[in-house]
């Protein structure tokens, strides 16, 4: 299925609406782009009962560190709503123990397939912490792996869901904004699948919410 590419004025609002309507097992992503979407989702839906929140990836720092994805998502969303069951990646355990712990959590309390996965796209077209040229991108057996060397700042080790888990999601929504993503958007969504642009390897029911700046090279 081709991705549904949507260039819209306010992609964060559209992403917030998707999140507010979601139920079941929902994967949230890190980075700075989704912050406003998370804040709006908290306003639109204060009660997250019936939602299990998971993470696409995490930086190997403690949860109260400024680079923690859990910290960012908590401040913008999870601390503002009630009812959600939150499954945090434990970055403080390091990439390999943290990945093993999350795999156990996923095997014990997770679904076969996530209901909704929110993703961002890096300027190098990475998704989650699956960077071009890294072994983690080629992983097909494990559901969660550790990444010792991040391909981009912040240059801390990572924990990440693997591509088969991403692609097994029932729905995948990208939220992408800004001129610095335009080239990556073009490589991820208007070329052939190419491991040098991990976003191009995402398959399934994929909707891409982006602003005009991010979509400028399509």
Binding site for ligand 6PG (CB under 6 A): 29-33, 56-57, 59, 69, 120, 122, 126-129
**Residue 45 vs 126, nearer CB to ligand 6PG:** 126
**Residue 42 vs 161, nearer CB to ligand 6PG:** 161
- Nearest approach, Cβ of residue 47 and ligand 6PG (Å): 26
**Residue 29 vs 90, nearer CB to ligand 6PG:** 29
Q: What angle do CA 71, 111, 47 make, to 5 degrees?
A: 50
- Nearest approach, Cβ of residue 160 and ligand 6PG (Å): 8
**Residue 95 vs 122, nearer CB to ligand 6PG:** 122
Cβ–Cβ under 8 Å, residues 6 and 17: no
- Nearest approach, Cβ of residue 55 and ligand 6PG (Å): 8
- Nearest approach, Cβ of residue 182 and ligand 6PG (Å): 13
Tokens (6 digits) for 109: 């309390």
Residue at token pair 């960077």: 131
**Residue 46 vs 177, nearer CB to ligand 6PG:** 177
- Nearest approach, Cβ of residue 66 and ligand 6PG (Å): 13
């Amino acid at each position: 299925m081709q991705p549904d590419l949507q260039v819209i004025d306010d992609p964060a609002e559209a992403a917030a609406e998707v999140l507010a309507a979601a139920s079941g097992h929902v994967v949230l992503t890190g980075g700075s782009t989704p912050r406003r979407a998370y804040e709006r989702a908290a306003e639109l839906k204060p009660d997250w009962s019936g939602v299990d929140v998971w993470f696409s990836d995490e930086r190997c720092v403690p949860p109260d560190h400024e680079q923690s994805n859990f910290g960012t998502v908590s401040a913008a969303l999870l601390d503002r709503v009630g009812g959600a069951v939150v499954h945090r990646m434990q970055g403080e355990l390091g990439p390999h123990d943290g990945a093993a712990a999350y795999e156990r959590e996923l095997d014990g309390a997770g679904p076969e397939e996530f209901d909704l996965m929110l993703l961002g796209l890096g300027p190098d077209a990475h998704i989650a912490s699956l960077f071009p040229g890294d072994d983690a991108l080629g992983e097909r057996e494990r559901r969660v792996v550790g990444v010792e060397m991040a391909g981009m700042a912040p240059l801390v080790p990572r924990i990440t869901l693997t591509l088969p888990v991403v692609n097994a999601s029932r729905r995948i929504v990208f939220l992408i904004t800004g001129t610095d993503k335009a080239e990556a958007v073009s490589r991820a969504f208007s070329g052939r699948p190419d491991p040098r642009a991990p976003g191009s390897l995402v398959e399934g029911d994929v909707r891409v919410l982006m602003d005009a700046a991010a979509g400028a090279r399509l």
